[in-house]
Structure formats: structure tokens, C-alpha cells
């Protein structure tokens, strides 16, 4: 039988009891609180880039198109993995995905002959975080308009100390505890769900 102690490892023990309670109060209100509560200003001016941070102007490619353009992005890498205070033999890269404007996305779908009804239903599903490969970033805080991120549009950039320092000056927003938890749940479901339905055999 699973004991309470076994289950405790799935809870964020690094939080104070008060923060933990606030986090779970917010999660309990999901999906009726997908709004500015996804962001926090408490860490504004911080010197560390965090997972889920929005960053202005990082280089993005969309292969096989060889063009490279700077766009706003959402950091996918784990905060610890990109922190230069953590000494490593090999400094990894920063993984991120471009932030797209939801209104432009809607317009493009309509312009490409997707019906009004289909687009409306699709946007509704995006707004309540039902699309597994899309993370919805609602307008609020430093986010000027509703935006989306496709988890399958991952890009990376080398993580030198200079680049990392520069990221902090280009931060657009930081996810709140609740926003980060929701982001992690969606990221995990998108990349690691066991639903492929294939018996791979053992050899």
C-alpha cells in the first residue's frame, strides 16, 4: 500500500506551508483562473533566469527554413540547468520556444479557410489549456496580449555567462508558483505521457 510518506515526494516541499496552501488553492480553482494569476512580479529584477520566463528577442529558427529571427520566447529549460552558479563539466544550452500572438494565429487560421466555428472552438480549447502541445499565456501583468507557445517548436541557444546575464535584462515576465506548476504539468504531459499504444517488445 502507498503511504503518505511515499506520496509526499510529489508535493513541493521547498515551499512554506503558507505558499503551499496558496499554490493548491490556485490549482483547486483551475480552470477558472487562467488569467494574470499565472504571473508574478515578486521576482522582478532578479538575477536568475527561471523556467517559464518570457524573454525578448532570442534567435529562433524554423527548420528546414534557414532564416533566423529574433522573437520573444518562453524558457523551457529547468531553472537549475541554466543557472551559472551550478558548476558543471559541460555548460548546456538554453531550450526555449517562440511566443506567438493568439490574435495573429486566429487571423492566419481564418485566412487559410478554416471555418469560423472551428477556429472559435479551437481558440476556446486553447484558452482553457486543453490543447496538449500549446501553452496559453493570457494577457495580464507584463503580457500585453493573449499569446501561445507550441511545445513542439523547441529552439536552443548556448548558455554562456554573457548571454545568461543579458537574458535578465530582457525578461518580459515570470510565471507565478501556480503558473509554473501548470506549465510543468502541461510540459510533462506533452513530452512524457505514456499513451503511444505501442508494444515495443523487450529486445
Interface residue list for other proteins (CB under 8 A): 1-4, 7-8, 10-11, 17, 20-21, 24, 27-28, 30-31, 60, 62, 65, 67, 69, 71-72, 98-101, 104-105, 108-109, 112, 114, 122, 125, 129-134, 150, 182, 185-186, 189, 193
Q: 26 or 164: whose CB is closer to other proteins?
A: 26
Question: Nearest approach, Cβ of 51 to other proteins (angstroms)?
Answer: 18
Nearer to other proteins, 36 or 109 (CB): 109
Q: For residues 186 and 128, is the Cβ–Cβ distance under 8 A?
A: no
Q: Quote the radius of gyration of the chain (alpha carbons, Å).
A: 19
The CA distance from 185 to 27, in Å, is 11
- In the bound complex, what is the minimum distance in angstroms from residue 141's beta carbon to other proteins? 21
Residue nearer to other proteins on the CB measure, 69 or 120? 69
Coil, strand or helix at 181: helix
Nearest alpha carbon to residue 103 among 129, 73, 137: 137
Ramachandran sector of residue 141 (left: φ over 0; alpha: ψ -120 to 50; beta: rest): left
Residue 193 beta carbon to other proteins: minimum distance, rounded to whole angstroms:
7
Residues 6+ apart with CB under 8 A from 182: 27, 30, 38, 129
CB of residue 164 vs other proteins: minimum separation in angstroms?
Answer: 23
Amino acid at each position: 500500500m502507498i503511504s503518505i510518506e511515499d506520496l509526499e515526494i510529489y508535493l513541493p516541499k521547498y515551499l512554506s506551508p503558507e505558499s503551499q496552501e496558496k499554490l493548491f488553492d490556485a490549482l483547486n480553482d483551475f480552470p477558472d483562473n487562467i488569467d494574470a494569476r499565472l504571473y508574478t512580479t515578486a521576482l522582478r529584477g532578479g538575477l536568475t533566469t527561471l523556467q517559464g520566463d518570457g524573454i525578448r528577442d532570442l534567435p529562433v529558427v524554423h527548420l528546414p527554413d534557414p532564416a533566423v529571427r529574433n522573437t520573444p520566447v518562453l524558457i523551457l529549460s529547468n531553472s537549475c540547468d541554466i543557472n551559472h552558479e551550478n558548476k558543471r563539466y559541460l555548460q548546456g544550452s538554453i531550450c526555449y520556444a517562440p511566443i506567438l500572438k493568439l490574435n495573429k494565429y486566429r487571423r492566419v487560421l481564418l485566412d487559410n479557410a478554416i471555418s469560423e466555428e472551428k477556429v472559435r472552438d479551437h481558440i476556446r480549447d486553447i484558452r482553457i489549456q486543453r490543447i496538449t502541445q500549446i501553452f496559453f499565456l493570457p494577457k495580464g501583468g507584463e503580457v500585453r496580449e493573449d499569446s501561445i507557445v507550441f511545445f513542439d517548436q523547441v529552439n536552443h541557444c548556448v548558455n554562456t555567462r554573457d548571454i545568461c546575464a543579458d537574458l535578465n535584462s530582457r525578461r518580459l515576465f515570470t510565471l507565478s508558483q501556480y503558473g509554473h506548476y501548470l506549465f510543468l504539468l502541461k510540459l510533462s504531459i506533452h513530452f512524457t505521457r505514456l499513451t503511444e499504444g505501442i508494444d515495443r517488445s523487450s529486445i
